[in-house]
Amino acid sequence: MARAGVTVRPKSEVRFELLDVGLLHIHEELQPELLERTTDQIRTDGYLKRPILVADEHFVILDGHHRYAALKALGCRRIPAYVIDYFSDAVELTTWPNAVVKEVRKEEVIRRGLADTPFPPKTTRHIMRVKLPDVFTDLEDLM
């Protein structure tokens, strides 16, 4: 119970952070061609436009596997990320129409990320119920 005069704030569902790339875990395999295109685009632009989406506590990447791998390949040590309470209602989990795996649960996404046993590419689809604006971040700020 909060004392009089003390404001207690609920835990935020999502926050923006610059994360160390070494903290992160993937839960889906990469597509080499898409990784190459993404890497080339980021190198040419000199910035990252869209932060990745990461589950708090476990640091499993929910969206942005190719952006993460591209930045890592470019020598970046940090990555802009929206960190979310994955088990909140702010994020819905579905699968892509052509996914090999047709049913997934959030617990399985976390388990696979932590165990390094990723799903095939483009299996999970995360739908955000909160707006996550683009945040342009220069590559030099991520080194």
> Which residue, among 139, 127, 130, has the nearest Cα to 42 in the 3D structure?
139
The tens digit of pLDDT for each residue in 42-73 reads: 999 999 999 999 999 999 999 999 999 999 99
Band (pLDDT 50/70/90 cuts) for residue 11 is low
| 33 labelled catalytic | no
Structure tokens of 122?
């483009």
The per-residue pLDDT for 13 is 83
Domains of the chain, by residue range, sit at 14-142
Tell me: the pLDDT tens digits for 121-132? Answer: 999 999 999 999
Q: Tell me: domain 14-142, CATH 3.40.50.2000, correct? A: no
Dihedral sign from CA coordinates of 37, 44, 25, 115: positive
What is the model's pTM? 0.89
Is residue 60 within 8 A of residue 54, CB to CB? The reply is yes
Report residue 33 as tokens: 């061609």
Confidence of residue 1 (pLDDT cuts 50, 70, 90): very low
| Active-site entry in 28, 29, 36, 107 | 28
Rounded Cα distance between 44 and 60, Å, is 27
